[in-house]
Amino acid sequence: MQIIKTVEELRPIIQEWRSQGLSVGLVPTMGYLHAGHKSLIVKAVSENDRVVVSDFVNPTQFGANEDLSTYPRDLERDAAVCQEAGASLVFHPEPEEMYAPDSCTFVDMDSLTKGLCGKSRPTHFRGVCTVVCKLFHIVTPDRAYFGQKDAQQLAVIRRMVRDLNFGISIVGCPIVREADGLAMSSRNAYLGEEERKAALILHSSLALGEKMLEEGERDARKVREAILGRLNTEPLARVDYVELVDAESLEPVEKAEKPILAAIAVYIGQTRLIDNFTFAGGQQG
Ligand code: PAF
């Protein structure tokens, strides 16, 4: 498995694969890979002849006061995970390789990016769309793989691909959790021992909301309040948002009668964690 650092080196490799009629899958990541990322790579390997994993901490998706400089990095370990999962190549560019000093072109979106995480991270999705768009142009994959844990990101990328006519299939993959229910995230590495225990409140609060829906509750406000109430029982938790939204438009819903996304963002100490579940909807039973 190769580690490639420049676009110039990567393009001929992709062209060679293409000339052999091979299909290409892309797994975009910011590195510090965990079992969630590995599940994306394994799926991509099962569906494509060649798989590129991009490993790039993308500066344009971090706000001024966010954790760009401290974001965990470990290329050696990432390469081992990629190799074990069967990836063909890791693309690990430096920021200067991806962004010219006078780079001034961005991909942005009018809706879908304003609510949920977009409220407290107003430039985040512009950075995500821009880098994913660049990776799509560089790698020209047939399929690209994203985790459902970043549900808003997945919806945004699906919309970008539709709106800008990328001929790429976007494959959403299920959330991978630790044995105790905490959704896997590179940012879990920031949690101290007490915070790690406190972080379980995200999953248990969502489980409460999901149970209410499964038992027939359709009033989104009641479900939202129950999730919020449970989150507020944890002294180390500070809620950023709890929202029940339409799974596709990401607009808030009053009734959970169509497919919905229940999404939360919560600070545990200084660490902002997100989690969610989807619910198929349907009339109250
Ligand atoms: O989900 C992530 O890790 C990042 O947002 C992505 C899609 C790799 C873009 O930098």
pLDDT in tens, 67-84: 999 999 999 999 999 999
Q: What are phi and psi of 246, to 5 degrees?
A: -60, 135
Q: Is 128 in the pocket of ligand 1 (CB under 6 A)?
A: yes
> Could you confirm whether 203 is annotated as catalytic?
no
Predicted pLDDT of residue 284:
64
Beta bridge partners of 173: 147
Q: Is 131 in the pocket of ligand 1 (CB under 6 A)?
A: yes
What is the atom index within ligand 1 of the atom nearest the CA of 29? 8
Mutate to test the pocket of ligand 1, among 150, 186, 272, 274 (most ligand atoms within 8 A of CB): 150
257 C-alpha to ligand 1 centroid (Å): 31
User: What's the pLDDT tens digit per position in 33-63?
Assistant: 999 999 999 999 999 999 999 999 999 999 9
User: What's the pLDDT tens digit per position in 151-180?
Assistant: 999 999 999 999 999 999 999 999 999 999
Q: Is 262 in the pocket of ligand 1 (CB under 6 A)?
A: no
Predicted pLDDT of residue 193:
98
User: CA triplet 188, 175, 164: central angle to 5 degrees?
Assistant: 105
Q: Does pTM top 0.95 for this prediction?
A: yes
127 C-alpha to ligand 1 centroid (Å): 9
User: What's the pLDDT tens digit per position in 193-223?
Assistant: 999 999 999 999 999 999 999 999 999 999 9
How much is the average pLDDT of 132-144? 98
d(CA 209, CA 212) in angstroms, rounded, equals: 5
88 C-alpha to ligand 1 centroid (Å): 19
